Amino acid sequence: MDERPVAVITGASSGIGEALARRLARDGWLTVLLARRRERIEALAAELGGEADVCDVSDREAVERVALAVLARHPRVKLLVNNAGISGRGGFLTADADRIELVMRTNYLGGVWCLRAFMPGLEAGAPADVVNVVSVAGSVAFGPAGPYSASKHAQLAFSRSSGAQLRSRGVRVHTVSPGFVETEGFPQDTILKSGFFRRVVIGPNDVADHIAKVVRRDRRETFVPFWYRAFAILQGLMPSVVSRVASRSGYRSDDQAAE
């Protein structure tokens, strides 16, 4: 019988999810990888000695079906990482309407459905942890990336409210908000024009290491790198200033940068 603690990771086929799966496997976790691309996650699971289940988190029925299958194999889940996310490809006035709906279903509701579906396993595995990979865009709104920012604002509120509810049930909820991360789904070189923001792009491994540390040290709400918190504070105190800076930052209007 496999005695390794079980970690369920969504969006595990590439980027932050893949990097985190590798990190947790090195730390002795049994990783259950969820994503839409079967070949990717099955190959990664085989390499890491983990498991793979095809799942589109924007589909509530699919999430519930996959969770039942996973919990039948592993009644106790020690860690759930809601990492799956997609880009918005434009602002509220330019993005495709179907894309806007999909962004909200994936980036926000996907985490809600996963938490609800895996809650029996998390309670059985308590003390257990949930990590919601949000974004600096969840605290700082960028007009050109409105749908993406809105989905991440919703995800942040979900993370905070569920964290307040679940700690008494032995489940700790952590919010991790990366800044600009170079991944397959978010190619920063094609999004950022030049200047300061280009120089602060980090890699998926940086976020994976941060998540491992957050769970180990029980940190509630963190940013990667840490100094991005200043932008979130500034947004709350002086939103008009942030709005003016964002409009002049060289941030392209046809995509968003943070994930």
Report the CATH number that the domain containing residue 163 is assigned in CATH. 3.40.50.720
List, for the chain, all residue ranges whose pLDDT scores fall below the cut of 50. 188, 190-193, 250-259
Let me know if residue 235 belongs to a domain.
yes
Phi/psi for 147 (5° steps) reads -60, -40
* Helix axes 38-48 and 15-26, enclosed angle (nearest 10): 20
Name the nearest CA neighbour of 238 among 249, 227, 230. 230
Catalytic residues: 148
Q: Which of 81, 115, 60, 62 is nearest to 11 (CA)?
A: 81
Residue 181 in domain: yes
Instruction: Report how far residue 138's alpha carbon sits from residue 135's, in angstroms, rounded to the nearest whole number.
Output: 5
Is 133 part of a structural domain of the chain? yes
- Domain count within the chain: 1
Distance CA 259, CA 252 (A): 15
What pTM value is reported for the model?
A: 0.87
Q: What is the pLDDT of residues 192-248, one digit of tens each?
A: 445 555 567 889 999 999 999 999 999 999 999 888 788 778 777 767 666 666 555
In a domain, 1, yes or no: no
Tell me, yes or no, whether 152 lies in a domain. Answer: yes
Q: Do the domain assignments include residue 66?
A: yes
Position 69 scores a pLDDT of 98
- Residue 84: per-residue pLDDT: 97
Query: What is the C-alpha separation between 83 and 132, in angstroms, rounded?
Result: 6
| Structural domain includes residue 259 | no
| Full domain range(s) for residue 126 | 6-247
